[in-house]
Amino acid sequence: MNATTTSAALLDRLKPLGFQQAQAVRLNLAPAALVEEALRNGEGTLTDTGALMADTGQFTGRSPKDRFIVRDASTTDSVWWGDINIPFDAEKFDQLHAKMVAYLADKTLYVREAYAGAHPASQLKLRVVNELAWHNLFCYNMFLRPEAGADTSWLPDFSIICAPGFEADPAVDGTRQKNFAILNFTKKMILIGGTGYAGEMKKGIFGVLNYLLPHEQNTLPMHCSANVGEDGDTAIFFGLSGTGKTTLSADPRRGLIGDDEHGWLPGDGGVFNFEGGCYAKVIDLNPEKEPEIWNAIKFGAIVENTRFVPGTRTVDYANTSVTENTRTAYPLPFIPNAVEPSVASSPKNIFFLTADAFGVLPPISKLDKSHAMYHFLSGYTAKVAGTEMGITEPQTTFSACFGQVFLPLYPTQYAEMLGQKMDEHPDVHVWLVNTGWSGGSYGVGSRMKLAYTRAMITAALDGALNHTSFSQHPIFGVKIPSAVPGVPSRILDPRNTWQDPEAYDRTAAELAQKFVQNFQKFAAYANDDILAGAPKVAAAIAV
C-alpha cells in the first residue's frame, strides 16, 4: 500500500498508538516520494550521486544516558538495571506518550510498516510513525521491506513514534533532559523525542530483539557482521570500533549476510540478519578501501551530517566539522554481494576482533568454549589516546558481548548462550584476532599488517589452521598456531616480536590484571565454564 492522503482507514491503523487525527498520513511511501517530500520540507539536499544529505541536529550520535526502559511487572525481574538500562516510570511513559500524540496531531505523519528479523520464526512486525520524511526513508532502508502488494494492515509486534521536534520537560516528564528514547515492553512501543539522530530507531529495535529473542525464543542476538562462502560456510565477526570489523568482513569472495545485527537460532536454525540495510560510518571514506560502501551511496541512500566540497555537490568525506560520526544508510541490495534473504547456516567460524595497543595478544589464537565465553563477556579492545606532548598510552575498552550498551538482560546470559551454541555445534571454531600492535606497545611496536590479518582470516575460513599444531599462551590460555600460510611464523607468538621478552611478560601481566578487574562486576553471576577462561594473573605476576 502506498497512500498519500489521510483517510479513516489510515487513521484506524494509528488509533492503537493513540492517534485520533493528523494533518495528513503518508503511508509506506516509495523512496523517490520520500526524497521529494524531504526536499520539499527542507529536510535535506541531494548530493551529486543522488543520495539525500540530511543533518541530525544537536545530537550526532546516540545519547545512552537518555535511553530508558519502562520498569513494570514484565521487566522488573528480568532487565539488567543500572547505567545501561535506566528504569522509567510507567505512568510517566503514558503521560509522555499522550503529549507526543497531541504534538503530532496537526502534522503530516510518515508511517512505515516493515519487519525486523529476516527469519520468519523470529520476525517482528513494525509500525513506525515519523515526523520527518527522511527518517521514514531511513526506516525503509534499514528495516526489512515487505514484498510488493503484501497486506501490512497488521497489529504490529512493536511500534516506534519518533518526533525530533518534540522536547520533554524533565521536571514534569521524568526524563534527564529534553531528548529521550524509551522502550516499553508491555505497551510494545518505543518513544523517541528531542533528537534527530536516526540511529536511535535502529538501535531501539536492536534493544527490543536483544530482550525478546533470548528471553522468549532461546535465540542469541549478536552485535556482529556476518558473511557466507560459496560452500555455505558462515562466518561472524565481532569487534568494537577501530578493530577492522567492516574491512575484514567485506570479502568479494563471500556473500554479505549483514554488517551489524544478527540472531543465532536454536538447533540447526542458522543465523539471520535483523535488518534490511547498512548504517556505515563514512569518515574518510574512499573508493579504494571500501568500494562497496562508496558505490552504495546513490539515489535512495542517505548521508548524515556530511558537508560538500565548497562550490560542489560532492561530499567531502574528510570533513569533520559537524561530527566524526558521519554515516550513510542504504538498503542491503545496494551491495553487490548481498545475500537475500539474509539468512544462512550456523557459523563455522567466529572471529573476535581486537586492536590491542599493548601488543600483548597473539595476532590470531583459537579459543575453547571457556575462553570464548570469557572473551565474549569481556569484549576487549584498546584505543590510543594522545597527550599534549604527543606521548600516548593505550586505553583499555571493555564492552560486554561487544555491544554492552544494547543489552537489556544481564551479560552473562548472552555468554552462557554462546557456550550452549558451541555445545550444539562442536565443529564451530572461535578465533581471537588482534589487529592491533606487535613488537611492543603503541609507540614502540607497529600495527599488524592488514595483509597478514587477511591471510590469517583466510586460513581460518579455508580450514588451513585445522592442520597445524598449537601452543598455549602461558597467561591468557589461548592457543597459538605454529604456522599460518602467508604469515611469518615468528610473529605468531607475540613474545617473540618484542626486543625485551621480560618487558612483554610484565605488560602481559598488566593487561591480564585489567581483564580480571573488569570481570569482577560479572564474577558473581558467571558459571564455572566462564570463570575457567580467565587469564592466569597470579602466574603472570610471578614471572
Residues carrying an active site annotation: 62, 203, 223, 241, 245-246, 260, 327
Q: Are 262 and 273 in contact (CB under 8 A)?
A: yes
Q: In whole angstroms, what separates CA 232 from the centre of its chain?
A: 24
What Å distances lie between residue 403 and 288, 379, 400, CA to CA? Answer: 29, 8, 6
Farthest CA pair distance, the chain: 77
CB hemisphere CA count around 92 (13 angstroms): 20
Phi, psi of 130 (to 5 degrees): -115, 145
Which triple of cell numbers denotes residue 246?
567492516
Amino acid of residue 414? Y
Q: In whole angstroms, what separates CA 516 from the centre of its chain?
A: 25
Q: In whole angstroms, what separates CA 498 from the centre of its chain?
A: 34
Which residue is associated with the grid cell 551491495? Answer: 335
Which triple of cell numbers denotes residue 282?
563514512
| Closest by CA position to 183, among listed 61, 87, 113 | 87
Which triple of cell numbers denotes residue 436?
592491533
DSSP 287-335: TTT-HHHHHH-SBTBEEES--BPTTSS-B-TT--SS-S--EEEEEGGGS
| Closest by CA position to 364, among listed 377, 380, 374, 351 | 351
CA distance 333 to 440: 42
Phi, psi of 259 (to 5 degrees): -110, 0
**Cβ contacts of 277 within 8 Å, gap of 6 or more:** 141, 142, 143, 329, 330, 331, 332
Amino acid of residue 23? Q
Alpha-carbon dihedral sign for residues 292, 329, 134, 305: negative
CA angle 524, 530, 536 (to 5 degrees): 95
**Cβ contacts of 306 within 8 Å, gap of 6 or more:** 53, 282, 315, 316, 317, 319, 322, 326
Residue 120: asked if its preceding bond is cis (omega within 30°), the reply is no
Name the 3-class secondary structure at 429. Answer: strand
